[in-house]
């Protein structure tokens, strides 16, 4: 039987995402033809243990060596455990784990071998989504915007809408749903807004052994240090015209700015920095969107959500308000992108990553021992 993926019709894709917050791996099923979303399916989550998180943290910012090999093993085994029970899927979108991101110099590094995973799962795996974009002059991030465009169509948005993902790093996608295709000039604008949960998580891990500020309880008791916030906003990144992207550790000095503060004031200040970065980023949008739909772990922090509501000139709401799953949107995105890669469709464009022309990133790996036709 010939190994092939049909060029038309709806496929069932399983996407997986391990983000910069390092909390664990998300898996989600999406049904799509690579253009429209036909529906969503089963989801699941596997958390990283404290030991696994320590291995991943040790490899952040590294490009090679024993620590990277150890992180690769953690990522591959975690994904295999989570994805193996999914049997009725046509293909898998495997993002891997970003350890280092410097597109203008060294490139971008996501560990996890999609060819190995394809053999282990016995099904086609689409992976290495970012390299082609970087090689053509793009930032290699963010990559979810093409899926955000499909989501805007799926919820039948008529006015421009923004998707704000608050994971380890924040990223914003401005979508004009009046366009037919995401790669059309003006359909999308996307960029990283600044650090989101990563600095706060790192601070609380170091000071209290906590993974995150649950419910914003620590930040709620604190006061924002305005001097630190002003120094943060003086960073040249915020004046840079998008598209633009960040590495998880690009703003690691944020923790130094709050080093002398007590836990509550430090948490409040780091939370305010996240919201302020988003507010600065919104100024790059062609016009104020009808609403900002928030996805990622940050939407569970009511203090952060309130700061966003106060600082933005449009309604702010979790994506659940329009029927989407904010915990699984990134995983769904890589299932969707996997179908686009398999069908030769672009996955990024000048408006999303600054790449010179619309490009379809990704590599399709097939299990050697099995003939598959999808």
| Structure-token pair, residue 49 | 């243990």
Whether the pLDDT of residue 2 is over 80: the answer is no
Q: For residue range 144-190, what is the model confidence (pLDDT) as tens digits?
A: 999 999 999 999 999 999 999 998 899 999 999 999 999 999 999 99
Q: Report which of 317, 307, 311, 301 is spatially closest to residue 224, judged by C-alpha positions.
A: 307
Does this chain's domain 11-137+330-345 share its CATH topology with 156-322?
A: yes
Say what the alpha-carbon torsion angle 141, 142, 144, 149 is, to the nearest 10 degrees. -120
pLDDT at site 247: 81
Alpha-carbon gap, residue 173 to 293, rounded angstroms: 10
Predicted confidence band of residue 370 (pLDDT cuts 50, 70, 90): low
Say what the alpha-carbon torsion angle 169, 174, 180, 183 is, to the nearest 10 degrees. -50
Predicted TM-score (pTM) of the model is 0.94
Residue ranges per domain, the chain?
11-137+330-345, 156-322
Whether the pLDDT of residue 374 is over 60: the answer is no
Alpha-carbon gap, residue 82 to 105, rounded angstroms: 34
Please check whether residue 347 is in contact with residue 362, taking contact to mean a CB–CB distance below 8 angstroms.
yes
Is the bond preceding residue 142 a cis peptide, omega within 30 degrees?
Answer: yes
H or E stretch covering 263: helix 263-282
Q: For residue range 56-108, what is the model confidence (pLDDT) as tens digits?
A: 999 999 999 999 999 999 999 999 999 999 999 999 999 999 999 999 898 99
Alpha-carbon gap, residue 256 to 231, rounded angstroms: 11
Q: Report which of 207, 187, 191 is spatially closest to residue 199, judged by C-alpha positions.
A: 207
Whether the pLDDT of residue 304 is over 80: the answer is yes
pLDDT > 70 fraction of the chain, expressed in percent and rounded: 97
pLDDT at site 1: 33
CA dihedral (313, 316, 321, 327) positive or negative: positive
Interval 318-326 mean pLDDT: 98
pLDDT at site 372: 52
pLDDT at site 6: 76
Residue indicated by tokens 């799953």: 325
Please check whether residue 108 is in contact with residue 98, taking contact to mean a CB–CB distance below 8 angstroms.
yes
Residue indicated by tokens 């069908």: 343
Residue indicated by tokens 């309880």: 217
pLDDT at site 272: 98
Angle 149-155-159 from CA coordinates, rounded to 5°: 70
Q: For residue range 323-336, what is the model confidence (pLDDT) as tens digits?
A: 999 999 999 999 99
Pick one of 3.20.20.140, 3.40.50.720, 3.40.630.40, 3.30.420.40 as the CATH number of 11-137+330-345. Answer: 3.30.420.40
Q: For residue range 135-153, what is the model confidence (pLDDT) as tens digits?
A: 999 999 999 999 999 999 9
Interval 17-25 mean pLDDT: 91
pLDDT at site 267: 98
What pairs with residue 188 in β-bridges? 175
Angle 80-85-87 from CA coordinates, rounded to 5°: 110
Q: Report which of 80, 76, 87, 86 is spatially closest to residue 110, judged by C-alpha positions.
A: 76
pLDDT at site 336: 98
Residue 87's SS3 state is coil
Using DSSP bridges, classify how beta strands 91-102 and 292-295 pair: parallel, antiparallel or unpaired: unpaired
Whether the pLDDT of residue 369 is over 80: the answer is no
pLDDT at site 7: 74
Whether the pLDDT of residue 371 is over 80: the answer is no
Which residues fall within 8 angstroms of residue 340, CB to CB, at 6 or more apart? 34, 146, 346, 347, 360
Q: For residue range 265-303, what is the model confidence (pLDDT) as tens digits?
A: 999 999 999 999 999 999 999 999 999 999 999 999 999
Indicate the DSSP class of residue 14. Answer: E
Residue 205's SS3 state is helix
pLDDT at site 248: 80
Alpha-carbon gap, residue 115 to 286, rounded angstroms: 41
pLDDT at site 116: 98
pLDDT at site 251: 86
Which class is 156-322 in CATH?
alpha beta
């Amino acid at each position: 039987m010939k190994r092939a993926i049909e060029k038309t019709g709806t496929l069932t894709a399983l996407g997986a995402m391990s983000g910069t917050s390092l909390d664990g791996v998300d898996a989600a099923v999406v049904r799509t033809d690579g253009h429209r979303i036909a529906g969503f399916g089963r989801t699941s989550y596997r958390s990283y243990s404290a030991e696994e998180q320590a291995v991943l943290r040790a490899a952040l910012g590294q490009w090679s060596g024993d620590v990277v090999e150890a992180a690769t093993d953690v990522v591959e085994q975690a994904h295999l455990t989570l994805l193996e029970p999914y049997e009725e899927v046509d293909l898998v979108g495997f993002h891997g784990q970003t350890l280092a991101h410097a597109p203008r110099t060294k490139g971008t590094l996501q560990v996890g071998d999609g060819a190995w995973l394809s053999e282990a799962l016995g099904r086609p795996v689409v992976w290495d989504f970012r390299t082609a974009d970087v090689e053509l002059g793009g930032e290699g991030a963010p990559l979810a915007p093409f899926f955000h465009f499909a989501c805007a169509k799926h919820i039948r948005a008529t006015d421009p809408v923004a998707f704000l993902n608050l994971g380890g790093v924040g990223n914003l996608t401005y979508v004009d749903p009046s366009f037919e295709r995401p790669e059309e000039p003006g359909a999308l604008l996307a960029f990283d807004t600044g650090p989101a949960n990563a600095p706060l998580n790192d601070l609380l891990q170091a000071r209290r052994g906590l993974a995150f500020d649950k419910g914003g309880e620590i930040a709620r008791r604190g006061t924002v240090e305005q001097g630190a916030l002003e120094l943060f906003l003086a960073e040249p990144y915020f004046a840079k015209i998008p598209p633009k992207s960040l590495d998880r550790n690009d703003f690691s000095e944020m923790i130094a700015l709050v080093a002398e503060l007590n836990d509550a004031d430090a948490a409040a200040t780091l939370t305010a920095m996240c919201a302020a970065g988003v507010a600065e980023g919104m100024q790059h949008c062609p016009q104020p969107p009808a609403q900002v739909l928030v996805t990622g772990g940050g939407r569970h922090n009511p203090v952060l959500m309130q700061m966003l509501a106060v600082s933005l000139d449009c309604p702010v709401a979790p994506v659940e308000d329009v029927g989407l799953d904010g915990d699984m949107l990134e995983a769904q995105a890589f299932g969707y992108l996997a179908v686009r890669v398999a069908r030769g469709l672009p996955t990024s464009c000048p408006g999303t990553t600054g790449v010179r022309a619309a490009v379809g990133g990704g590599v399709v790996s097939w299990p050697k021992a099995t003939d598959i036709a999808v």
